[in-house]
Amino acid sequence: MTARIIDGKALAQKVRARIADDVARLKAEHDVRPGLAAVLVGEDPASQVYVGMKHRATEEAGMLSRQLVLPADTSQRDLEALVADLNADDAIDGILVQLPLPDHLDPQPVQELIDPTKDVDALNPYTAGRLAIGDPTFLSCTPYGVLQLLAEAGVETAGAHVVVVGRSNLVGRPLSVMLTLKGRDATVTLAHSRTADLAAVCRTADVIVAAVGRIGLITADMVRPGATVIDVGTNRGEDGRLVGDVDFAGVREVAGAITPVPGGVGPMTVTMLLQNTLEAARLRRGLPRN
Protein backbone atom coordinates (compact mmCIF):
# COMPACT_ATOMS: atom_id res chain seq x y z
CA MET A 1 0.00 0.00 0.00
CA THR A 2 1.19 3.50 -0.86
CA ALA A 3 -0.76 6.30 0.78
CA ARG A 4 -2.47 8.93 -1.34
CA ILE A 5 -1.14 12.42 -0.82
CA ILE A 6 -3.43 15.05 0.71
CA ASP A 7 -2.40 18.14 -1.24
CA GLY A 8 -2.54 21.23 0.97
CA LYS A 9 -1.33 23.55 -1.78
CA ALA A 10 -4.17 22.62 -4.10
CA LEU A 11 -6.80 22.95 -1.39
CA ALA A 12 -5.37 26.28 -0.26
CA GLN A 13 -5.63 27.64 -3.81
CA LYS A 14 -9.24 26.55 -4.05
CA VAL A 15 -10.24 28.01 -0.68
CA ARG A 16 -8.37 31.28 -1.30
CA ALA A 17 -10.17 31.72 -4.62
CA ARG A 18 -13.49 31.35 -2.80
CA ILE A 19 -12.36 33.81 -0.10
CA ALA A 20 -11.37 36.35 -2.77
CA ASP A 21 -14.83 36.03 -4.33
CA ASP A 22 -16.44 36.54 -0.91
CA VAL A 23 -14.27 39.61 -0.25
CA ALA A 24 -15.25 41.12 -3.60
CA ARG A 25 -18.92 40.47 -2.86
CA LEU A 26 -18.61 42.01 0.61
CA LYS A 27 -17.05 45.13 -0.92
CA ALA A 28 -19.68 45.38 -3.65
CA GLU A 29 -22.71 44.80 -1.42
CA HIS A 30 -21.66 46.48 1.84
CA ASP A 31 -18.62 48.62 0.94
CA VAL A 32 -16.56 46.62 3.43
CA ARG A 33 -12.94 45.62 2.78
CA PRO A 34 -11.61 43.29 5.48
CA GLY A 35 -8.35 44.47 7.02
CA LEU A 36 -5.57 42.47 8.69
CA ALA A 37 -2.75 44.00 10.72
CA ALA A 38 0.37 41.90 11.34
CA VAL A 39 2.80 43.07 14.02
CA LEU A 40 6.40 41.88 13.83
CA VAL A 41 8.88 42.73 16.59
CA GLY A 42 12.54 42.30 15.73
CA GLU A 43 14.28 40.65 12.80
CA ASP A 44 13.75 36.93 13.29
CA PRO A 45 14.26 35.51 9.77
CA ALA A 46 11.56 32.86 10.00
CA SER A 47 9.04 35.37 11.35
CA GLN A 48 9.90 37.78 8.54
CA VAL A 49 9.17 35.05 6.01
CA TYR A 50 5.86 34.12 7.67
CA VAL A 51 4.67 37.72 7.90
CA GLY A 52 5.65 38.29 4.28
CA MET A 53 3.64 35.25 3.18
CA LYS A 54 0.62 36.45 5.13
CA HIS A 55 0.94 39.94 3.65
CA ARG A 56 0.99 38.64 0.07
CA ALA A 57 -1.89 36.25 0.64
CA THR A 58 -3.98 38.98 2.26
CA GLU A 59 -3.47 41.38 -0.63
CA GLU A 60 -4.13 38.66 -3.21
CA ALA A 61 -7.48 38.01 -1.51
CA GLY A 62 -8.40 41.67 -1.98
CA MET A 63 -8.07 42.55 1.70
CA LEU A 64 -6.30 45.47 3.32
CA SER A 65 -2.93 44.29 4.66
CA ARG A 66 -1.00 46.38 7.14
CA GLN A 67 2.48 45.29 8.27
CA LEU A 68 3.84 46.93 11.40
CA VAL A 69 7.51 46.20 12.04
CA LEU A 70 8.92 47.25 15.41
CA PRO A 71 12.56 47.21 16.56
CA ALA A 72 13.75 44.30 18.67
CA ASP A 73 14.15 46.54 21.74
CA THR A 74 10.49 47.65 21.72
CA SER A 75 9.13 47.85 25.26
CA GLN A 76 6.17 45.90 26.59
CA ARG A 77 4.31 49.17 27.10
CA ASP A 78 4.86 50.32 23.50
CA LEU A 79 3.81 46.99 22.04
CA GLU A 80 0.64 46.94 24.11
CA ALA A 81 -0.07 50.57 23.14
CA LEU A 82 0.15 49.59 19.48
CA VAL A 83 -2.30 46.73 20.00
CA ALA A 84 -4.68 49.13 21.76
CA ASP A 85 -4.48 51.48 18.77
CA LEU A 86 -5.28 48.62 16.40
CA ASN A 87 -8.24 47.64 18.56
CA ALA A 88 -9.62 51.15 18.03
CA ASP A 89 -8.91 51.24 14.28
CA ASP A 90 -12.15 50.49 12.42
CA ALA A 91 -10.27 49.65 9.21
CA ILE A 92 -8.64 46.68 10.95
CA ASP A 93 -10.74 43.54 11.44
CA GLY A 94 -7.98 41.15 12.45
CA ILE A 95 -4.86 41.56 14.58
CA LEU A 96 -1.93 39.16 14.45
CA VAL A 97 1.12 39.53 16.69
CA GLN A 98 3.78 37.27 15.22
CA LEU A 99 5.37 34.84 17.66
CA PRO A 100 7.92 34.31 19.05
CA LEU A 101 8.51 37.73 20.54
CA PRO A 102 11.95 38.81 21.79
CA ASP A 103 12.78 37.34 25.18
CA HIS A 104 12.14 40.51 27.16
CA LEU A 105 8.50 40.67 26.01
CA ASP A 106 5.66 38.68 27.58
CA PRO A 107 3.23 37.50 24.88
CA GLN A 108 0.39 36.57 27.25
CA PRO A 109 -0.78 40.09 28.21
CA VAL A 110 -0.42 41.13 24.57
CA GLN A 111 -2.72 38.33 23.44
CA GLU A 112 -5.16 39.10 26.24
CA LEU A 113 -5.29 42.73 25.11
CA ILE A 114 -6.41 41.93 21.55
CA ASP A 115 -10.11 42.67 21.04
CA PRO A 116 -11.83 39.25 20.90
CA THR A 117 -13.76 40.38 17.81
CA LYS A 118 -10.38 40.88 16.07
CA ASP A 119 -8.63 37.80 17.49
CA VAL A 120 -8.15 36.05 14.14
CA ASP A 121 -5.15 34.11 15.46
CA ALA A 122 -7.44 32.70 18.19
CA LEU A 123 -4.95 33.11 21.03
CA ASN A 124 -6.96 35.32 23.37
CA PRO A 125 -8.14 33.30 26.42
CA TYR A 126 -11.70 34.47 25.70
CA THR A 127 -11.53 32.84 22.27
CA ALA A 128 -10.13 29.63 23.75
CA GLY A 129 -12.89 29.63 26.37
CA ARG A 130 -15.60 29.99 23.75
CA LEU A 131 -14.17 26.98 21.95
CA ALA A 132 -14.01 24.98 25.18
CA ILE A 133 -17.77 25.43 25.80
CA GLY A 134 -18.59 24.44 22.23
CA ASP A 135 -19.52 27.92 20.97
CA PRO A 136 -16.41 29.15 19.14
CA THR A 137 -15.93 32.58 17.61
CA PHE A 138 -12.71 31.95 15.68
CA LEU A 139 -10.87 28.67 15.23
CA SER A 140 -7.10 28.53 15.64
CA CYS A 141 -5.67 28.68 12.14
CA THR A 142 -3.53 25.54 11.96
CA PRO A 143 -6.14 23.21 13.55
CA TYR A 144 -8.77 24.83 11.33
CA GLY A 145 -6.60 23.95 8.35
CA VAL A 146 -6.28 20.35 9.56
CA LEU A 147 -10.07 20.04 9.67
CA GLN A 148 -10.33 21.36 6.13
CA LEU A 149 -7.74 18.87 4.90
CA LEU A 150 -9.57 15.95 6.52
CA ALA A 151 -12.85 17.06 4.96
CA GLU A 152 -11.28 17.52 1.52
CA ALA A 153 -9.76 14.04 1.71
CA GLY A 154 -13.15 12.55 2.60
CA VAL A 155 -11.94 11.34 6.01
CA GLU A 156 -14.95 10.71 8.24
CA THR A 157 -14.29 11.88 11.78
CA ALA A 158 -17.66 10.92 13.28
CA GLY A 159 -17.06 7.87 15.45
CA ALA A 160 -13.38 7.76 14.47
CA HIS A 161 -10.53 7.54 16.96
CA VAL A 162 -8.13 10.42 16.43
CA VAL A 163 -4.80 10.52 18.22
CA VAL A 164 -3.40 14.05 18.42
CA VAL A 165 0.28 13.93 19.33
CA GLY A 166 1.21 17.30 20.82
CA ARG A 167 -0.46 19.43 23.49
CA SER A 168 0.47 23.00 22.54
CA ASN A 169 -2.01 25.85 22.78
CA LEU A 170 -1.39 26.56 19.11
CA VAL A 171 -2.32 23.15 17.71
CA GLY A 172 -2.83 20.11 19.91
CA ARG A 173 -5.16 21.41 22.59
CA PRO A 174 -7.54 23.40 20.35
CA LEU A 175 -7.61 20.68 17.69
CA SER A 176 -8.55 18.04 20.26
CA VAL A 177 -11.56 20.14 21.27
CA MET A 178 -12.58 20.98 17.69
CA LEU A 179 -12.66 17.32 16.75
CA THR A 180 -15.12 16.50 19.53
CA LEU A 181 -17.64 19.24 18.66
CA LYS A 182 -21.02 18.22 17.31
CA GLY A 183 -20.79 17.62 13.61
CA ARG A 184 -17.26 16.20 13.85
CA ASP A 185 -17.94 13.78 16.71
CA ALA A 186 -14.53 12.13 16.96
CA THR A 187 -13.19 10.27 19.95
CA VAL A 188 -9.88 11.96 20.71
CA THR A 189 -6.78 10.92 22.58
CA LEU A 190 -4.48 13.85 23.31
CA ALA A 191 -1.02 12.34 23.51
CA HIS A 192 2.43 13.88 23.61
CA SER A 193 6.12 13.06 23.61
CA ARG A 194 5.95 11.75 27.20
CA THR A 195 2.95 9.47 26.70
CA ALA A 196 3.70 5.95 27.89
CA ASP A 197 4.04 3.56 24.93
CA LEU A 198 3.14 6.22 22.38
CA ALA A 199 3.54 3.70 19.56
CA ALA A 200 0.81 1.46 20.98
CA VAL A 201 -1.53 4.43 21.44
CA CYS A 202 -0.97 5.57 17.85
CA ARG A 203 -1.63 2.10 16.45
CA THR A 204 -5.22 2.34 17.76
CA ALA A 205 -5.91 5.47 15.69
CA ASP A 206 -7.96 5.91 12.57
CA VAL A 207 -6.30 9.33 12.24
CA ILE A 208 -2.96 10.50 13.64
CA VAL A 209 -2.11 14.20 13.85
CA ALA A 210 1.56 14.79 14.63
CA ALA A 211 2.27 18.22 16.13
CA VAL A 212 5.23 17.96 18.50
CA GLY A 213 8.13 19.48 16.57
CA ARG A 214 10.41 16.45 16.59
CA ILE A 215 11.81 15.09 13.35
CA GLY A 216 10.73 11.53 12.56
CA LEU A 217 8.73 11.02 15.77
CA ILE A 218 6.00 9.03 14.01
CA THR A 219 7.39 5.95 12.28
CA ALA A 220 5.79 3.25 10.16
CA ASP A 221 5.51 0.76 13.02
CA MET A 222 3.32 3.27 14.93
CA VAL A 223 0.66 3.50 12.20
CA ARG A 224 -2.24 1.11 11.69
CA PRO A 225 -2.48 0.07 8.02
CA GLY A 226 -4.86 2.38 6.18
CA ALA A 227 -4.87 5.15 8.81
CA THR A 228 -4.77 8.83 7.84
CA VAL A 229 -1.67 10.74 8.98
CA ILE A 230 -1.61 14.54 9.20
CA ASP A 231 1.86 16.01 9.76
CA VAL A 232 1.83 19.46 11.37
CA GLY A 233 5.55 19.38 12.21
CA THR A 234 7.77 22.12 10.81
CA ASN A 235 11.43 21.34 11.41
CA ARG A 236 14.73 22.01 9.68
CA GLY A 237 16.77 18.93 8.89
CA GLU A 238 20.56 18.80 8.99
CA ASP A 239 20.61 19.67 5.30
CA GLY A 240 18.42 22.73 5.90
CA ARG A 241 15.34 21.28 4.24
CA LEU A 242 11.91 21.55 5.83
CA VAL A 243 10.72 18.25 7.30
CA GLY A 244 7.86 17.16 9.52
CA ASP A 245 7.31 15.01 12.59
CA VAL A 246 6.50 11.96 10.46
CA ASP A 247 8.96 9.61 8.75
CA PHE A 248 7.25 10.31 5.44
CA ALA A 249 8.94 7.65 3.30
CA GLY A 250 8.26 4.85 5.76
CA VAL A 251 4.78 5.87 6.87
CA ARG A 252 3.60 6.41 3.31
CA GLU A 253 3.95 2.68 2.72
CA VAL A 254 1.52 1.91 5.57
CA ALA A 255 -0.95 4.78 5.78
CA GLY A 256 -4.03 5.22 3.63
CA ALA A 257 -3.55 8.98 3.25
CA ILE A 258 -0.84 11.39 4.35
CA THR A 259 0.09 15.07 4.18
CA PRO A 260 3.58 16.05 2.98
CA VAL A 261 5.91 18.61 4.52
CA PRO A 262 6.12 21.08 2.93
CA GLY A 263 2.88 21.38 0.97
CA GLY A 264 0.43 19.91 3.44
CA VAL A 265 -0.82 21.77 6.50
CA GLY A 266 1.37 24.87 6.05
CA PRO A 267 -0.51 26.49 3.15
CA MET A 268 -3.80 25.94 4.97
CA THR A 269 -2.67 27.83 8.08
CA VAL A 270 -2.35 31.11 6.16
CA THR A 271 -5.57 30.34 4.27
CA MET A 272 -7.61 29.95 7.45
CA LEU A 273 -6.15 33.20 8.77
CA LEU A 274 -7.74 34.85 5.74
CA GLN A 275 -11.00 33.04 6.44
CA ASN A 276 -10.99 34.24 10.04
CA THR A 277 -10.33 37.82 8.92
CA LEU A 278 -13.23 37.65 6.49
CA GLU A 279 -15.50 36.30 9.23
CA ALA A 280 -14.30 39.00 11.63
CA ALA A 281 -15.24 41.70 9.12
CA ARG A 282 -18.75 40.30 8.93
CA LEU A 283 -19.07 39.70 12.67
CA ARG A 284 -18.00 43.23 13.61
CA ARG A 285 -20.67 44.72 11.35
CA GLY A 286 -23.50 42.38 12.28
CA LEU A 287 -23.47 40.66 8.88
CA PRO A 288 -24.20 36.94 8.63
CA ARG A 289 -21.23 34.59 8.55
CA ASN A 290 -20.98 32.10 5.71
d(CA 25, CA 17): 12
From the centroid of its chain, how far is CA 97?
Answer: 14
Q: Which helix (H) or strand (E) holds 37?
A: strand 35-41
The pairing of beta strand 4-5 with beta strand 257-258: parallel
| DSSP structural state of residue 3 | P
| DSSP structural state of residue 246 | B
Helical pair 125-132 and 172-180, crossing angle rounded to 10 deg: 30
d(CA 130, CA 140): 12
From the centroid of its chain, how far is CA 260?
Answer: 16
The residues assigned a catalytic role are 54, 98, 121
Amino acid at 197: D
The answer to whether 40 and 47 have CB atoms below 8 angstroms apart is: yes
d(CA 277, CA 94): 5
The answer to whether 222 and 201 have CB atoms below 8 angstroms apart is: no
d(CA 254, CA 275): 34
Question: Residue 131 CB: number of other CB atoms within 10 A?
Answer: 21
d(CA 214, CA 244): 8
